[in-house]
Amino acid sequence: MKTGFSVTLVESPTVPIIGVGEGTWPTLRSSLQKMGVSETEFFRHCNVAFKQGAKFARWTTGADDDAYYHPLMLPQGFTQVNLVPHWLCNEQGRSFCETVCPQGQLCDEGLAPKAITTPEYQAVANYAYHLDAGKFAAFLQQHCTQKLGVRHVLADVTQANQTEQGDIRSLVTPQAGEIAGDLYVDCTGNAALLLGKTLGVPFKDCSDVLFCDAALALQVPYDTPDEPMASHTISTAQPAGWIWDIGLPTRRGTGYVYSTRHTSDADAYDTLMRYLGPRHAKLTPRKISIRGGHRTTFWKNNCVAVGLAAGFLEPLESSAIVLTELSAKLIAEQMPANREVMDILAARFNDVTHYRWGRIIDFLKLHYVLTQRRDSAFWRDNIDPDTVPLRLKNLLHLWKYQPPWFFDEFDRLEEVFPAASYQYVLYGMNFRTEVDPSDNLGTGSIAMKLMNDNVSLTRQMRSQLPKNRDLVKRIVEYGLQTI
Amino acid sequence: MSNIVVLDSLSHRKLRVHAQPALQYGDNQRFVAVVVNEFPILSLHYPILFSKDADTGQFYCGAMLGFDAGENLFLDEHRAQRLYRPLNLQRGPFFTAGSDLAVDLEHPRVAPSGDQALFDEAGAPTVYLQSIMGLMRDLRPGLERSRIFIDTLLSLNLIEPMTIEARFDDGSNREVTGLYTVNRERLQELADAAVVDLFRRGYLQLVYLMLASLKHVPTLAQKKNDLFLPGGESRASGLA
């Protein structure tokens, strides 16, 4: 990290924060640690619970018992041997996930991914968090201003002055006057005040690939304060989209993400209420418009967009916060020493960030394109080849004969979704790769050992790990040690 | 299950307790919680380390008595009263409740066949009960002193994890995890003011007693290994 820089946050006192977005990636653990945040304090202030992945229900066939996990642990021995062909040749009625990693069973039993004796940020099973986005924003703001020396200015940006070359020279605010800087990070949300309005970078809509364009969000209370709390996000497919269900210590966050081309707001409301049950009928959901897509350039001149200002996609795989983290990290690590080298770094940033958005769109579409559901226009339209990005189409073709593995197409540092994620979704959704059993001979014994190791590791973890809610309660009460 | 009640000379006049060391009565601990006032005498025989409470994750000090779950390699010496027995083993079924002494009536040591009475015919505490009251006077403030000692070391970043590995003559290995000790390098690097503060509070001595006590780990391993030698088997089975 470079020094000799100062950061000023100009925040509008009048624009409310979006306040949803409660799912994160394991990257948040290292991000928080790097920022010097105590994990215990984070749990105490942000209504945090553990997340060990996502369970996708009714996505494949729509049947009652149709569900699979996309866990956060890699398959056993992932860097040594690809277990996919070994599992395919000997499925024995066991899912891919349960054959290669313990996390699905941990989620089934509502277990936490660590114990109270596990130090801060360390895991027994890889994990991320579910959190209260509003509380998290306030917590980070306080940490950054009090401990990291960020200057916080409450003011509305009404205008951005530019140089002749188009660089932003200063921001004009009625409350704090003119504020000047060398690099402007546009975090103005959907408005994209600097990158979009001032610098004129257009927005690339992706609703031709991902149809969902609205959400009805609703926070629902638990029936009792001790009700079990799922340690995974539950995503349940619906006639025109899907419902998220996230367990926080004090409440559940739920919402129906849907396509307004395929259903009406009234029907969407009925669908959400059917999912939640009659006891929540008095609650009123909040409607949020989703404009899926991203800016065509993320860093132009001396302005780089992060967060919603860069773009947004339906929250199917919690990609919003992780993209913000990755962008912030890249900016911090590549902080230009001066204006002359900024364009070189900007080009690099744009290249990486474009790649990431593209891969996330591919990965989200993968969940839809593998469905066998034909019960509504939404699902039928989703498998229309014209809506599938070419790169994904080619990969799906390739994967019919060769299962994905870690150097296969996924060679970038910090790939948002590694090949393991593709494996979990593909084989969780009944995709099958043709494999020749004789190809497995060379790695047969090590694969057998890894699968047996997984059985004993699963048994061991199930006997040692506490319940998700129980551990969160203990962390708030006693705290985690740093060692 | 436990049933902890405040002890009184009327309702508990006839209560008797098995006071002698025995595995079935709770001496089956490979790591027993201790307090800092015990360090000088403990350090003569036992490795003193830190571990984390399984329910709270908080650090506590303890003496290592064995390698396997439930193994106490000092039982014979404790029975023969040849070695100091940690207060937490001595106290048996007794607890403190505020300033009162309490007893767990469901504790296996509490039985009519017990070798020690608590009160005499007149209702006065026996010598045994007086010894329990005496050790509680050490144990209770000792717990608080130990907590402050640990918090001080944590704030100076002086505690580090350590794994104890041992190989035995029957071909088996043990790897004992979840133990912590003082990091010598960071201790050496402490600023002078911090060193003086540790010294004045008596903590420097405690730290060096802990570090010196690690020399008992090989002795403890040898003690266990002796059980695998001819003549040791009967004792080994006695521990199982």
> How close, in Å, is residue B220 to chain A by CA atoms?
26
Residue-level pLDDT at B73: 97
Shortest Cα–Cα distance, B52 to chain A (Å): 6
Determine the residue among B49, B50, B58 to mutate to test chain A binding: the one whose Cβ has the most chain A Cβ atoms within 10 Å: B58
Q: Which residue of A has its CA nearest to B50?
A: A483
User: Which residues make beta-bridge pairs with A152?
Assistant: A9
pLDDT at res. A16: 85
Phi, psi (degrees; rounded to nearest 5) at A282? -80, -15
Q: Active-site residues of A: which are they?
A: 51
Determine the Cα–Cα distance for residues A24 and A320; give it in Å rounded to an integer: 8
All residues of chain B having their beta carbon less than 8 Å from the beta carbon of residue A38 are none
* Upper half-sphere CA count for residue A53 (Cβ side, 13 Å): 28
CB A275 within 8 A of CB A238: yes
Nearest by CB to A117, from B54, B154, B159: name it.
B54
Task: Give the full edge-to-edge strand order of the sheet including B31-33.
Answer: B31-33, B59-64, B48-52, B173-182, B159-167
Check A481 against B57: CB less than 8 A apart.
yes
* B35 burial via Cβ count (<10 Å: 0-12, 13-18, 19+): buried
- Chain A nearest-CA distance from B124, in A, is 41
Nearest chain B residue to A478 by CA distance is B56
User: What's the CA gap between A51 and A67, in Å, rounded?
Assistant: 17
Asked if B57 reaches chain A (Cβ–Cβ under 8 Å), the answer is yes
**Three state DSSP letters for A283-343:** CCCEEEECCCEEECCCEECCEEECHHHCEECCHHHCHHHHHHHHHHHHHHHCCCCCHHHHH
Number of helices followed by number of strands (H, E) in chain A: 14, 20
Chain A CB within 8 Å of residue B178 CB: yes
- Pairs of CB atoms within 8 A across A/B: 31
Q: B32 - beta bridge partners?
A: B63
Name the nearest CA neighbour of A78 among A431, A405, A462, A356.
A405
Interchain contact A117–B (C-beta under 8 A): yes
Nearest to A478 among B56, B154, B180 (CB): B56
Q: How far, in Å, CA of A167 to CA of A12, rounded? A: 22
Q: For residue B97, what pLDDT is reported?
A: 87
Phi, psi of B177 (to 5 degrees): -110, 180
Complex ipTM more than 0.90, yes or no = no
Q: Does A483 touch chain B (CB under 8 A)?
A: yes
For chain B, 240 residues long, give each residue's pLDDT as a single digit of tens: 789 999 999 999 999 999 999 999 999 999 999 999 999 999 999 999 999 999 999 999 999 999 999 999 999 999 999 999 999 999 999 999 888 999 999 999 999 999 999 999 999 999 999 999 999 999 999 999 999 999 999 999 999 999 999 999 999 999 999 999 999 999 999 999 999 999 999 999 999 999 999 999 999 999 999 998 876 654 443 343
| A481–B154 C-beta distance less than 8 A | yes
Partners of A478 on chain B (C-beta within 8 Å) are 56-58
Q: How do residues B47-105 score in pLDDT, each as one tens digit?
A: 999 999 999 999 999 999 999 999 999 999 999 999 999 999 999 999 998 889 999 99
Kindly state the tokens that stand for A51: 């997340």
Which portions of chain A are predicted below pLDDT 50? 1
Identify which of A474, A482, A483 has the shortest CB distance to residue B56.
Answer: A474
